[in-house]
Amino acid sequence: MTVDAIITADVLDVASKPTVRPRRRQARTWRLALSLLLPSLLCLAAFTYLPVVRVVIDALYATPHGGSGTRFVGLENFARVLADSAFRTAAWNNLLYAVGTIFPSVTLALAFALALWRSTRFNAVVRTVLFFPSLVPLVAAASLFFFIFLPGVGLLDYYLGKLGLEGFNWIGDSDVALWSIVGLTVWKNAGYYMIFYIAGLQNVPRDQIEAATVDGANAVQRLWYVILPALWPTTAFVVTIALIQVLTAVDHVVVLTKGGPSNATNLLLFYIFQEAHENFDAGKAAAATALSVAALLAVSLGCLRAMDSGARHEA
């Protein structure tokens, strides 16, 4: 055997040996990763995915009134929900509630973050004060605002009377009650969203702000053309969280108004609660839940896609 043949054989032997070991090592790594993730995956499936499947299945069945057992009805429950005027009222109230809470909350959060993004002792104290409402449980906040909204003797009417103004029946008037709930929600969430904007402002390129300043851009122009585009992923993330909270938070409605007066504050989740626990119509409640979650999922995916496109644009 020639020297070239020996060298070639050795090279081929060395090159062929590592191909087996990395594959075995990679397979071992995957098995280890799956074994570590298995408990979390099981909990996720048990408490997230299986309930979703159960809701979809329940939406296809109905329980006869006064009877036992269930019968398959297909999409009848969805048709009943869509034909229910109470559901349409709750959906419209939820839309107004979303618009009335998300835009003011996000705008205030951005304004607070822009005013307090520099790290000073005074700003730290003000951040803590603004963030504190988000730490208060929603039931406790609703109980507090119940005394604030009391007509005639509540704190709000008291201070309005000092100014010579007359208050409203804040939670008893069908034209005002929903906006009272909106005010409570904005008070509670604006400081929470501010934290995300403060974190997002730390990633705004300082060289772009300085370049815009050198070019003669004023504060409003720097905000509109430099800071807000850089905060677009943060805004999409905050709006997604706000949408989830708008659809899943109902404790304040239960404490303050119980959906009234005249269904003026009846939101989707409270409607689902009424159908399931007051009207004992589990199929209809499951169908309303499936419709609500589908709408929330569609809007959330749109926000996340916008966040992803904004991140790619910044990159």
Let me know whether 251 and 193 are in one domain: yes
Same domain, 90 and 51: no
The pLDDT of residue 108: 95
Instruction: Let me know whether 46 and 87 are in one domain.
Output: no
Residue 72: beta bridge partners?
61
Contacts of 66 (CB under 8 A, 6+ apart): none
Q: Of 248, 281, 250, 271, nearest to 86 (Cα)?
A: 271
**Based on C-alpha coordinates, what's the Rg of the chain?**
28
> Does 180 lie in the same domain as 263?
yes
Q: Which residues contact 212 (CB under 8 A, 6 or more apart)?
A: 221, 222, 225, 226
Kindly state whether residue 199 falls inside one of the protein's structural domains.
Answer: yes
CATH number of residue 232's parent domain:
1.10.3720.10
Both 144 and 32 in a single domain?
no
Whether 69 maps to a domain, the answer reads no
pTM: 0.82
Task: Please provide residue 309's backbone torsions phi and psi, each rounded to the nearest 5 degrees.
Answer: -65, -35
238-256: pLDDT as tens digits: 998 998 898 888 889 999 9
Q: With contact defined as beta carbons under 8 Å apart, do 283 and 63 qualify?
A: yes
Domain identity same for 251 and 133: yes
**Helix spans in 136-259 (H):** 138-148, 155-162, 177-201, 206-214, 219-222, 228-230, 232-248, 251-256
- 39 and 171 part of one domain: no
Report the number of distinct structural domains present in the chain. Answer: 2
Same domain? For 14 and 151 the reply is no
Residue 243 lies in a domain: yes
Do 205 and 144 fall into the same domain? yes
20 plus 154 within the same structural domain: no
pLDDT score at 38: 87
Which stretches of the chain score pLDDT less than 70? 1-21, 64-69, 310-315
104 and 12 share a domain?
no
Q: Are 291 and 88 in contact (CB under 8 A)?
A: no
User: In this structure, which amino acid lies at residue 210?
Assistant: E
pLDDT of residue 220: 82
Q: Is residue 29 part of a domain?
A: yes
Distances (CA, A) of 37 to 31, 32, 41, 42, 143: 10, 9, 6, 9, 41
What is the three-state SS of 85-134? HHHHHHHHHHHHHHHHHHHHHHHHHHHHHHHHCCCCHHHHHHHHHHHHHH
pLDDT of residue 73: 84
Structural domain range at position 22:
3-58
Report yes or no on 65 lying in a domain.
Answer: no
pLDDT on residue 12: 47
Report if residue 70 sits inside a domain. Answer: no
pLDDT value of residue 314: 57
Residue 196 covered by a domain: yes
CA distances from 214 to 139, 217, 229, 231 (A): 50, 7, 19, 21
Structural domain contains residue 234: yes
Q: Cβ(70)–Cβ(157) under 8 Å?
A: no
pLDDT at residue 311, rounded to an integer: 59
Orientation of helix 85-116 relative to helix 232-248, angle to 10°: 140
Domain co-membership, 143 together with 251: yes
pLDDT the model gives residue 6: 46
